[in-house]
């Protein structure tokens, strides 16, 4: 579904050229959930931008559905850290916007939106506006907004990082429930190693910037998983330690560079 071969991205900056990611090799199959972790500023969001076609690669190849990415490929859903919920639209109209944009009739778009609003647990809130919802509820709207388009490739950039710990756990469970059986290939970027391990089949550790893939771990936890329970198991702690050993060095390098912008 997603293939990156030696993908490299350079940005022109005032001081010359800045390499954000270099030689990234990654392939994600249908129905596979991959989490990407790495220190702040290393190039995680840039990796998603290449897959989604928002930015072209400077070198290497990026394929989605076996075709080189040029512009935004069909079937790609993108959930950003800051959700794209529009404040002046009701929950129903926010969720129906995607299908409408894709040419679905108003009636059918609204029917599909209602169905997804129910699936994310917001039945009864169709007529509410975003400011009338809690942060967790807005994330549910954003999730419905993304999933209503039935993406075969789902890109998520720290979608739950602004939420409190309990709401986050709930959203992780919701996501697993909604994704399971959908066949979607997921790339989920997060700072939070615990979140990565709770959700993913594989966890990819990126180096300090310019990011390349340092190591990949298979998560040996059965599905279906319960976000709150799985993190208390001995298997979880073992894999956590193993991945953290790899990630810690990169976080350290980034810290030693100081300034927090990791340039
Ligand atoms: N459009 C752009 N133009 C110039 N530089 C950019 C652009 N996008 C990203 N960069 C630079 O590329 C590097 C990687 O940025 P990116 O946003 O991919 O990091 P990240 O790993 O997602 O960070 P964080 O964890 O803080 O979200 C940074 O140094 C950033 O300043
Ligand atoms: Mg980012």
* Whether pLDDT at 83 is above 80: no
For 216-263, write each residue's pLDDT tens digit: 999 999 999 999 999 999 999 999 999 999 999 999 999 998 754 544
For 175-219, write each residue's pLDDT tens digit: 999 999 899 999 999 989 999 999 999 999 999 989 999 999 999
Q: What is the position in ligand 1's atom list of the atom closest to the CA of 191? A: 25
Question: What sign results for the dihedral spanned by CA atoms 112, 115, 119, 120?
Answer: positive
Note the ligand closest to the C-alpha atom of 49.
1
- The CA 54 to ligand 1 mean position distance, Å, reads 13
* Whether pLDDT at 37 is above 80: yes
Q: Is the CB of residue 20 below 6 angstroms from any atom belonging to ligand 1?
A: yes
Q: Is the CB of residue 41 below 6 angstroms from any atom belonging to ligand 1?
A: yes
Which residue, by CA, sits nearest to atom 9 of ligand 1? 46
Confidence band of 14 (pLDDT split at 50, 70, 90): confident
DSSP string spanning the chain? -EEEEEEEEEEEETTEEEEEEEEEEEEE-TT-EEEEE--TTSSHHHHHHHHHTSS--SEEEEEETTEE--SSPTTEEEE-SS----TTS-HHHHHHHHHHHTT--HHHHHHHHHHHHHHTT-TT-TT--GGGS-HHHHHHHHHHHHHTT--SEEEEESTTTTS-HHHHHHHHHHHHHHHTTT--EEEEE-S-HHHHHHH-SEEEEEPSSSB-EEEEEE----SS--HHHHTTSHHHHHHHHHHHHHHHHHHHHHHHH-TTT--
- Distance separating alpha carbons of residues 1 and 173, to the nearest angstrom: 24
Question: What pTM value is reported for the model?
Answer: 0.94
Q: Is the CB of residue 11 below 6 angstroms from any atom belonging to ligand 1?
A: yes
For 140-164, write each residue's pLDDT tens digit: 999 999 999 999 999 999 999 888 8
User: What integer pLDDT is reported at residue 80 of this predicted model?
Assistant: 86
Note the ligand closest to the C-alpha atom of 18.
1
Mean residue pLDDT of the chain comes to 94
Which residue, by CA, sits nearest to atom 10 of ligand 1? 20
Q: Is the CB of residue 18 below 6 angstroms from any atom belonging to ligand 1?
A: yes
- Domain 2-70+195-262 fold: Rossmann fold (3.40.50)
Q: What percent of the chain stands above pLDDT 70?
A: 98
* Whether pLDDT at 2 is above 90: yes
Judged on CB neighbours under 10 Å (0-12, 13-18, 19+), 10 is middle
Q: What is the position in ligand 1's atom list of the atom closest to the CA of 42? A: 21
- The CA 140 to ligand 1 mean position distance, Å, reads 27
């Amino acid at each position: 579904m997603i293939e990156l071969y030696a993908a490299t991205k350079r940005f022109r900056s005032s001081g010359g050229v800045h390499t954000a990611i270099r030689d990234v090799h990654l392939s994600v199959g249908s129905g596979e959930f991959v989490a990407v972790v790495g220190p702040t500023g290393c190039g995680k969001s840039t990796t998603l931008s290449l897959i989604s076609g928002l930015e072209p690669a400077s070198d290497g190849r990026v394929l989605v559905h076996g075709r080189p990415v040029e512009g935004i490929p069909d079937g790609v859903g993108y959930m950003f850290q800051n959700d794209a919920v529009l404040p002046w639209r009701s929950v129903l109209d926010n969720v129906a916007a995607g299908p409408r944009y894709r040419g679905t009739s108003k009636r059918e778009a609204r029917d599909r939106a209602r169905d997804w609003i129910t699936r994310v647990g917001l039945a009864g809130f169709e007529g509410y506006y975003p400011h009338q919802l809690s942060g967790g509820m807005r994330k549910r709207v954003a999730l419905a907004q993304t999933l209503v388009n039935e993406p075969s490739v789902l890109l998520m950039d720290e979608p739950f990082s602004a939420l409190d710990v309990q709401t986050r756990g709930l959203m992780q469970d919701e996501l697993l429930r909604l994704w399971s059986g959908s066949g979607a290939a997921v790339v989920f970027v997060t700072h939070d190693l615990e979140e990565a391990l709770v959700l993913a089949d594989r966890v990819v550790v990126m180096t300090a910037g310019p990011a390349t893939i340092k190591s990949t771990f298979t998560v040996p936890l059965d599905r279906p998983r319960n976000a709150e329970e799985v993190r208390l198991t001995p298997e979880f702690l073992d894999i956590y330690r193993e991945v953290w050993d790899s990630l810690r060095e990169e976080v350290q390098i980034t810290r030693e560079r100081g300034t927090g912008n990791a340039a």
